[in-house]
Amino acid sequence: MNELLRIKDLQTRFYTRDGVVHAVNGVSYSIDEGEILGVVGESGCGKSVHALSIMRLIPDPPGKIERGEVWFDGQDLLTVSDEEIRKVRGGRLAMVFQDPMSSLNPAMTIGFQIVEALTLHLGMNNKQAEARTTDLLTMVGIPDAKNRLEDYPHQFSGGMRQRVMIAMGLSCDPKLLIADEPTTALDVTIQAQIVDLIKRLQAELGMAVMWITHDLGVVADVAERVNVMYAGYIVERGTVRDVFKRTRHPYTIGLLGSLPRLDEDPGTELSAIPGLPPDLIDLRPGCPFAVRCTYVVEQCWNETPPLEPTESERHTVACWRWEEIAQGVA
Amino acid sequence: MTQYLLKRLILVIPVVLGVTFFAYSMVLLTGDPASALAGVHATPEMRAALREKLGLDDPLPVQYGRFLVRIAQGDLGTSIISRIPVAIELRLFFPATIELALAAMTIAIVVGVPLGVIAAYKHNSFADLGTTFGSLVGVSMPIFWLALMLLWIFGLKLGWFPIGGRIDRSVDLQTITNLYIVDSILTLNFPALLSSLHHLVLPAVALATIPTAFIARITRSAMLDVLGENYVRTARAKGLEEKSVVSRHALKNAMLPVITVIGLQIGLLMTGAILTETIFAWPGMGRWIVNAIVARNFPVVQTGVMVFALIYVFVNLAVDVSYGWFNPRIRYN
């Protein structure tokens, strides 16, 4: 597989009145062509901010991408001109957002909102763009798409709006689709439909997908590899099988332990991770998870553990004690 | 939509009736029209005869009914001072005010909206602070003082603009609508167009100051809200240029409160026009009505109040109807 996206040491901060928020703290990884990568972590762990940083959509001020490289298709997106990044956005690199209720422009027809991207990136005339928009909407499962082009977002349900957003994201044949919690705002049956839809479209169109979610079930279902993020760091990364079966980071262990399982005895209590995610404004040195970690030792307070390979090269973890955890000693 | 318009138009009728009744009876409150008409040297008998002749002894509803019938026939009465039918004077003065008000409103929108957009887009920058401060000054400025200053500096000291009137006396213009700009374009009269524009600048700028400031402030705050919305991020994620993100995706959503303020300001322009017209010797409705009030020229006052009220009613109707375009979620039923 060819590498499509390589991120090196990405760091994003927000300069707010209360202090500097260390939202993303040196994230490095890559995505291959046609791969589905899951990015998991709790709210505020930097999942969305790191994705927006890739697109250079961080509102500045207060946000600032401090350093790093984002190599996509042979270009470092962080150093190209504004005009170049605009050509990439919505074209080869598209994004579907969390909240379909507010992500579509309420004052414009959905037809126009998709046509706009097509005329911009693919140089289509209005007629061609409308025909393709109808095809796209049909593809994402909007019934009677031809007659819905003139409709406004408020005339669609939440699930249907997310389908429209997906159609918009796919309109210019992206090589990478960033799906930022695309199902969070939807109810459960609709969530399943949207998950299936993106999976099917990914298989048909062969694009890579970065799937940001806090739903571990979805990741297990759709992704090949997964990044577990905590406090702006990647703390564990590997194939879904490795991360779920040979879990090495205490945070991932906690996340998985908090999930209900069908094969458990009825009445088994779910375990919760004690404490709260750290305040990203005064992030201390050392492991960000130390405060909540049951495996914490002296070293964790002073030195931030690097992301290092475990038993397998492709399964990396940022924990000083992963070997002991692997052997079940700790 | 058509149904909604019809319904709104029907609703205009009671409003107009109310306004005309108010206009009619309000004038009677200020004193006896017959004594105003008859003059100070009239004997009580002469006044009584005049009252009889004008039907002022009849009960108020009867008088009002008669007044309505006359208006419906297009008879607005005769000016007590000039002895010219009010309808003829109205045809002369009304277009002058409309021309001035439209020019002022055009300036206010063309200057105010972009200022507000820039201030919001460059939030907390020098441009933003400048606009915020400038609009505060603009809103607080007494219009008569500003008008006098403009007149003094640009009219008298620098001599760049004429100090009064609508057009040079030396320029011939065949009037059709009495809107001089329109007339000079219709008759392809270039010197007249130039001269009337030249005369329009100072009064229009003076009249535009307050609405410009209001519109800039409202546009700024509405844009600030909208620019933080998710769909603006979506527009950027699509790869659109900032220009279209702001002017197409954001501005349309921010226009609702702006349109409301524009509507209200058109109403207030009528009040402002009275001062501006007086200072710039602009032969419009404002001066006409003020003179009529001073002289207790009742038919003129009644007509003027009615016309202003009708403008207000129809501007509001237009604003309500335009909401639907800016916000498709608004339903007309």
Of the candidates A70, A71, A76, the one whose C-alpha atom is nearest the C-alpha of residue A53 is: A70
Nearest beta carbon to residue A57 from set B237, B249, B326 = B237
Strand, coil or helix: what is B187? coil
| A71 plus A93 within the same structural domain | yes
B5 domain residue, yes or no: no
CB–CB of A89/B239 below 8 Å? Answer: yes
Question: What are the residues whose beta carbons fall under 8 Å from the beta carbon of A327, sequence distance 6 or more?
Answer: none
- Please check the confidence at residue B55 and state whether its pLDDT lies above 90: no
Q: Does A95 touch chain B (CB under 8 A)?
A: yes
B23 domain residue, yes or no: yes
pLDDT band at B250 (very low <50, low <70, confident <90, very high): very high
The torsion of the CA quartet B173, B174, B180, B184, rounded to 10 degrees, works out to -80
Q: Judging by beta carbons within 10 Å of its beta carbon (0-12, 13-18, 19+), is residue A89 exposed, middle or buried?
A: buried
| B262 plus B317 within the same structural domain | yes
Is it true that the peptide bond before A61 is cis, omega within 30 degrees of 0?
yes
- Please check the confidence at residue B15 and state whether its pLDDT lies above 60: yes
**pLDDT 10s digits, A9-62:** 998 988 988 888 888 888 888 899 889 999 998 888 888 899 999 999 888 778
Contact criterion met (CB < 8 Å) for A88 and B239 = yes
Interface test with B, best of A56, A96, A103 (most B CBs within 10 A): A103
B333 domain residue, yes or no: no
Which residue has tokens 């579907």?
A: A96
Q: Which residues of B touch A55 (CB under 8 A)?
A: 237
Interface test with A, best of B123, B225, B231 (most A CBs within 10 A): B231
Contact criterion met (CB < 8 Å) for A97 and B241 = no
Contact criterion met (CB < 8 Å) for B239 and A99 = no
| B150 plus B27 within the same structural domain | no
Q: Does A262 touch chain B (CB under 8 A)?
A: no
Nearest beta carbon to residue A121 from set B234, B239, B241 = B239
- Please check the confidence at residue B179 and state whether its pLDDT lies above 90: no
Q: What does the pLDDT average to over B130-134?
A: 89
The total number of structural domains in chain B stands at 2
Residue A140 phi, psi (nearest 5) = -85, 5
Tokens of A79: 């150093």
Whichever domain contains B225, its CATH number is 1.10.3720.10
| B150 plus B63 within the same structural domain | no
Interface of B with A in 221-240 (CB under 8 A): 229-231, 233-240
pTM over 0.90: no
Please indicate whether residue A257 or residue A93 has the higher confidence score (pLDDT): A93
| B50 plus B130 within the same structural domain | no
DSSP output for B134-145: HHHHHHHS-HHH
Domain that holds residue B267: 94-326
The total number of structural domains in chain A stands at 2
| A185 plus A242 within the same structural domain | no
Please indicate whether residue A179 or residue A325 has the higher confidence score (pLDDT): A179
| A280 plus A177 within the same structural domain | no
Q: Does A97 touch chain B (CB under 8 A)?
A: yes
- Our CA-based measurement puts residue B121 at a distance from the nearest CA of chain A, in whole angstroms, of 12
Number of neighbouring beta carbons within 10 Å of residue A96: 26
Task: Compute the C-alpha angle B306/B310/B311, nearest 5°.
Answer: 120
| A211 plus A269 within the same structural domain | no
Question: What are the residues whose beta carbons fall under 8 Å from the beta carbon of B242, sequence distance 6 or more?
Answer: B236
CB–CB of A288/A233 below 8 Å? Answer: yes
Tokens of B108: 């206010």
Which residue has tokens 């694009």?
A: A207
B86 domain residue, yes or no: no
Q: Does A165 touch chain B (CB under 8 A)?
A: yes
Exposure string (b/e) for A199-237, b if CB count within 10 Å is 16 or more? bebbeeeebbbbbbbbbbebbbbbbebbbbbbbbbbbbb
| B267 plus B144 within the same structural domain | yes
Is it true that the peptide bond before B299 is cis, omega within 30 degrees of 0?
no
Q: Does B320 touch chain A (CB under 8 A)?
A: no
Q: Order the strands of the A75-76 sheet from edge to edge.
A: A19-32, A3-16, A63-72, A75-76
Q: Which residues of A touch B227 (CB under 8 A)?
A: none
B165 domain residue, yes or no: yes
Number of neighbouring beta carbons within 10 Å of residue A189: 8
Question: What are the residues whose beta carbons fall under 8 Å from the beta carbon of B148, sequence distance 6 or more?
Answer: B279
Q: Which residues pair with A237 in a beta bridge?
A: A227, A316
Whichever domain contains A77, its CATH number is 3.40.50.300
Residue at a domain's end among B8, B38, B72:
B72
Residue at a domain's end among A195, A223, A251:
A223
| A136 plus A269 within the same structural domain | no
pLDDT band at B221 (very low <50, low <70, confident <90, very high): very high
Q: Does B174 touch chain A (CB under 8 A)?
A: no
- Our CA-based measurement puts residue B329 at a distance from the nearest CA of chain A, in whole angstroms, of 7
Mean pLDDT is lowest, of A177-181, A185-189, A225-229, B20-24, for A185-189
| A86 plus A205 within the same structural domain | yes
| B184 plus B274 within the same structural domain | yes
Confidence (pLDDT) at A227 = 92
Contact criterion met (CB < 8 Å) for A89 and B237 = yes
Contact criterion met (CB < 8 Å) for B328 and A106 = yes
Confidence (pLDDT) at A199 = 86
| A133 plus A271 within the same structural domain | no
State chain A's mean pLDDT as an integer: 87
| B52 plus B99 within the same structural domain | no
Interface of A with B in 117-156 (CB under 8 A): 117, 120-121, 152, 154
- Our CA-based measurement puts residue A102 at a distance from the nearest CA of chain B, in whole angstroms, of 6
Contact criterion met (CB < 8 Å) for B237 and A95 = yes
Confidence (pLDDT) at A204 = 85
Please indicate whether residue B269 or residue A51 has the higher confidence score (pLDDT): A51
State chain B's mean pLDDT as an integer: 86
- Our CA-based measurement puts residue B226 at a distance from the nearest CA of chain A, in whole angstroms, of 10
| B66 plus B169 within the same structural domain | no
Confidence (pLDDT) at A247 = 87
| A141 plus A32 within the same structural domain | yes
Confidence (pLDDT) at B332 = 67
| B101 plus B62 within the same structural domain | no
Contact criterion met (CB < 8 Å) for A94 and B237 = yes
Number of neighbouring beta carbons within 10 Å of residue B206: 26
Q: Which residues of A touch B329 (CB under 8 A)?
A: 106, 152, 154
- Please check the confidence at residue A104 and state whether its pLDDT lies above 60: yes
- Please check the confidence at residue A329 and state whether its pLDDT lies above 70: no
Q: Which residues of B touch A95 (CB under 8 A)?
A: 237
| A273 plus A154 within the same structural domain | no
- Please check the confidence at residue A330 and state whether its pLDDT lies above 70: no
Q: Does A106 touch chain B (CB under 8 A)?
A: yes
- Please check the confidence at residue B41 and state whether its pLDDT lies above 90: no
Contact criterion met (CB < 8 Å) for A154 and B329 = yes
What does the DSSP 8-state code read for residue B93?
A: H
| B23 plus B112 within the same structural domain | no
Residue at a domain's end among A223, A241, A266:
A223
DSSP output for A125-140: -HHHHHHHHHHHHHHT
- Please check the confidence at residue A301 and state whether its pLDDT lies above 90: no
- Please check the confidence at residue B216 and state whether its pLDDT lies above 90: yes
| A178 plus A102 within the same structural domain | yes
Domain that holds residue A164: 3-223
**pLDDT 10s digits, A212-221:** 988 888 888 8
| A105 plus A247 within the same structural domain | no
Confidence (pLDDT) at B308 = 85
**pLDDT 10s digits, A303-324:** 888 888 888 888 998 888 888 8
Nearest beta carbon to residue A102 from set B230, B235, B252 = B230
Residue at a domain's end among A171, A197, A223:
A223
Q: Does A107 touch chain B (CB under 8 A)?
A: yes
Give alpha helix (H) positions in A27-69. 47-55
| B187 plus B43 within the same structural domain | no
Rounded to whole angstroms, how far apart are CA atoms A89 and A161? 20
| A148 plus A291 within the same structural domain | no
Which residue has tokens 């996340």?
A: A255
**pLDDT 10s digits, A231-290:** 889 999 999 988 888 888 889 988 888 877 777 777 777 778 887 888 888 777 888 888
B38 domain residue, yes or no: yes
Interface of A with B in 6-35 (CB under 8 A): none
Contact criterion met (CB < 8 Å) for A106 and B329 = yes
pLDDT band at A196 (very low <50, low <70, confident <90, very high): confident
B88 domain residue, yes or no: no
| B299 plus B158 within the same structural domain | yes
pLDDT band at A210 (very low <50, low <70, confident <90, very high): very high
Rounded to whole angstroms, how far apart are CA atoms B192 and A190? 68
Contact criterion met (CB < 8 Å) for A154 and B327 = no
The torsion of the CA quartet B177, B181, B187, B192, rounded to 10 degrees, works out to 130
